[in-house]
Amino acid sequence: MDELHIFSGGSFSLDPGAIFGMVPESSWGRYYSLNAKGRIRLAVNIPVLKRGGNLFSFDSGLNQGLTERSMSFFEVSLNSDLGDQIMELTRMNEVSATIYSHLHFDHSGGLFRSPGSVFRSAKAIIQGSEVRFARRPNELSKVSYPAFALAGKRTRLVSGSAKISGDISVTRTGGHSIGHQVAFFSVNGRKYLYPGDIFPSSFHIRPTHIPAIDSYPVETLHWKKLLLKKLIGGDIKVIFPHDTKIKIASISGTVMNPIVVDESTT
């Protein structure tokens, strides 16, 4: 039997203008409150799939390679017990492969490869276009990309859509970043989508709720509508990477008026 677990990789904060874009406070203010610095606190949720003798993670949490200035600016809180929690609940010592939606600092922690990390031997599966950009980000994006280390035999660069293992597959969307990808997989017959930051939270399920930090918002809009059709019509559950309350949901309604049904406890 497969097992799906969602672990906390810590949390960080962003200015509401960054995470909500053009959506007015009268809309998001009903669901989120500002902290003392006028920021929105975001969770870092890390799905881990146990299948046979392998662990597959979808992203790997906050990157410890951030500078002290960035740690302070984003109010980063690391979960120092993440590795122990993964090993205790899965009864395995290492993640076999990590499918990276993209390489921003809140998703690429495993690539810091600190000694003893549960991600130390994981094969990194990333869009080649994302890696190329992350190595030379522009002035607008470089704060989002910390230093990371890729090891030849432990890296698989993909382009576009690709099958990873069994029914695990990825599709490049772009939108949030140049090489952003989403992942589809199943757990004991139930289908899931890990959307990365195409749907960072349940609030962002509406097609027009797009963060200001998305590099290519028109691509994000395009893919949100395509993915919503799949979610609504295909009985596919979605896992939100940054939602503090709803981690897993099913989606009903219509593409332009989707309805989120919390299934985090099922």
CA distance 156 to 168: 14
DSSP 77-144: EE-TTHHHHHHHHH--S--SEEE-S--STTT-GGGG--TT-TTTTPEEEEEHHHHHHHHS--TTTGGG
Rg of the chain in Å (alpha carbons): 17
Answer yes or no: are the C-beta atoms of 260 and 240 closer than 8 Å: no
Nearest Cα residue to 207 out of 199, 215, 195, 196: 199
210 near 176, Cβ under 8 Å?
Answer: no
The domains of the chain, with CATH numbers, are 3-262 (3.60.15.10)
pLDDT for 109 equals 93
Cα dihedral 128/129/135/140 (nearest 10) = -160
The pair phi, psi for residue 82, each rounded to 5°, is -55, -50
- How many Å separate Cα 209 from the centre of its chain? 17
Q: Is the entire prediction scored with pTM above 0.75?
A: yes
- Residue 217, token pair as written in the block: 């918002």
pLDDT digits (tens, 9 = 90+) for 197-228: 999 999 999 999 999 999 999 999 999 999 99
Full pLDDT tens readout for the chain, 266 residues: 999 999 999 999 999 999 999 999 999 999 999 999 999 999 999 999 999 999 999 999 998 888 899 999 999 999 999 999 999 999 999 999 999 999 999 999 999 877 778 999 999 999 999 999 999 999 999 999 988 888 888 999 999 999 999 999 999 999 999 999 999 999 999 999 999 999 999 999 999 999 999 999 999 999 999 999 999 988 999 999 999 999 999 999 999 999 999 998 75
Rounded mean pLDDT of the chain? 95
